[in-house]
Structure 1
């Protein structure tokens, strides 16, 4: 594979929400300006009608330049219900994909929402390399907090995956690593601790807002007492928000590497229930319960967990 082709492959996969290792400095980068990661485009009718992804799909995105931006409490109604009959508070904690293409209008909207802090879960290489997305574009005065969790070397993955099943297995192992990897646990603990104590609206994100971000949202919703079906439905909504970008990305992968590579990598660009379930099963294997994962695995204090629940639940 030529360096030019490898660079194209790297660029399109990062745009779809993933991180590649650095490509040769002499390689020609693909111009990603035509790939609109904010507009819902053809996906809007699906969102308006509701989708198989679950009830959390809203009729419109609050931000136009950030495709997977949404409220941890859900974007419609009173906020997700909890086991004790209460609801999550909307407008407190948000999740999204990377804010690297935030428009001026959307920056103004973020200020209107009272955004105070942004926690960036992308690996340092994802942030530093402009081809990997570059730095967040935030409104003046918003506090930026790097909280890196490396996404791994997907250049090798792109050239070694032989079947879609291997892509699925890779994503399942990625979710298990959120439980087994000490650096990942430390980063999740840092984010949750900050979310419990900082004032103003909070936001966390990774590159596509589906994996590292999806895991963080699951933890918050679990702490708040949201039922497992609602949590899974909310996790799966990323497929709806990212569908337009995913289809464009797959087309570019096909052109750069071939149709087989696109098929093999398709699971990596999406979320599946078994991805999250693999991580949850690992919690059971490693810690027994979610509570023990939070306290023993992440090292969260009972006070921090109580503050998070109080902040999240009305």
Structure 2
């Protein structure tokens, strides 16, 4: 073991002790503390728990396949994300995706990943419209997040700005809606407690899935820029299907309607930011959101960090 690796491990052990005692948990960066605000910067500093407490200098590396028929499938750890201490996140642990409706080739690829569980975050109506295909060896778990008649809400939209507000309000509901919080709490707890690689998804893999991924990356201690850039990758990964959907709406309902709905098809930084701003307003800190809002134990959060960085 090199001197650098030994030093990193000593730092990890020391920080683990502090985290367990509660004195280091979500300590935050000096800049965030001085500003007295919770923004993407303090989401990044949320990962102070993970970044120095559980880091490994030589984590596993798994090549993540691109799946044409599940185009927003990707690894939560990215192609090689590192946290603010320069520690690389473990790949092949947590995957995120849009609906699991692959062609046979992509289904076989998913089956080769050794997934232990697939978590479907969609409503009953969404599942009925587009059921998942079973993945070999993986338990299928339903954790519906979001309530109410989404289609009715979408039908009321009159302008693109209405659509953007709709998406911002959805992200706020991840903080304010007790049922949504219960769903995220169950998902994060299951991810922590279940062994083996796991996958979670919603319909487009961008909103409920995006919020979950932002929390996991924050726990791992990645920078705010990485959190946001990862969130925005949906616009790249799903570009072709977004355009197909947009053109389909234009062909069947007219260009004006397609323009109104276009903000619903991808993601915008303001969507995630709206959720984070609501988190600050309701809970003050990410720590309070995870502990009080979601009811997660420190052990659960620590286990998630260990999986991502251990």
Q: TM-score range by the shorter chain?
A: 0.7 to 0.9
Matches within 5 A, 1:113-262: 113-127=113-127, 129=128, 132-133=129-130, 135-150=131-146, 152-262=148-258
Partner of 1:27: none
Q: 1:62 aligns with which of 36, 44, 66?
A: 66
Partner of 2:281: 285
Contact 1:158 1:261 (C-alpha < 8 Å) held by counterparts:
no
Give the Cα separation in 2 of the matches to 1:136 and 1:92: 21
Partner of 2:12: none
Give the Cα separation in 2 of the matches to 1:197 and 1:60: 23
| TM-score normalized with structure 2 length | 0.77
Partner of 1:108: 108
Q: 2:259 aligns with which of 260, 263, 279?
A: 263
What is the CA distance between 1:153 and its match in structure 2?
A: 3.0
Give the Cα separation in 2 of the matches to 1:282 and 1:150: 17
Give the Cα separation in 2 of the matches to 1:209 and 1:238: 8
Bigger Rg, which one: 2
Q: Give aligned pairs, total.
A: 248
Partner of 1:47: none
Give the Cα separation in 2 of the matches to 1:309 and 1:190: 17
Q: Which runs of 5+ in 1 are unaligned?
A: 1-58
Partner of 2:59: none
Contact 1:161 1:261 (C-alpha < 8 Å) held by counterparts:
no
Query: Secondary structure of the equivalent of 2:117?
Result: strand
Give the Cα separation in 2 of the matches to 1:219 and 1:282: 14
Give the Cα separation in 2 of the matches to 1:189 and 1:156: 27
What is the CA distance between 1:289 and its match in structure 2?
A: 0.7
Give the Cα separation in 2 of the matches to 1:192 and 1:156: 29
Give the Cα separation in 2 of the matches to 1:239 and 1:176: 21
Contact 1:82 1:225 (C-alpha < 8 Å) held by counterparts:
yes
Distance change >3 Å, CA 255–CA 157, structure 1 → 2:
farther
What is the CA distance between 1:154 and its match in structure 2?
A: 4.2
Query: Secondary structure of the equivalent of 2:96?
Result: strand
Distance change >3 Å, CA 157–CA 261, structure 1 → 2:
farther
Which deviates the most, 292-301 or 84-93? 84-93
Distance change >3 Å, CA 182–CA 86, structure 1 → 2:
same
> Which aligned segments of 4 or more residues in structure 1 are displaced greater than 4 angstroms?
none
What is the CA distance between 1:91 and its match in structure 2?
A: 0.6
Distance change >3 Å, CA 310–CA 95, structure 1 → 2:
same
What is the CA distance between 1:155 and its match in structure 2?
A: 3.6
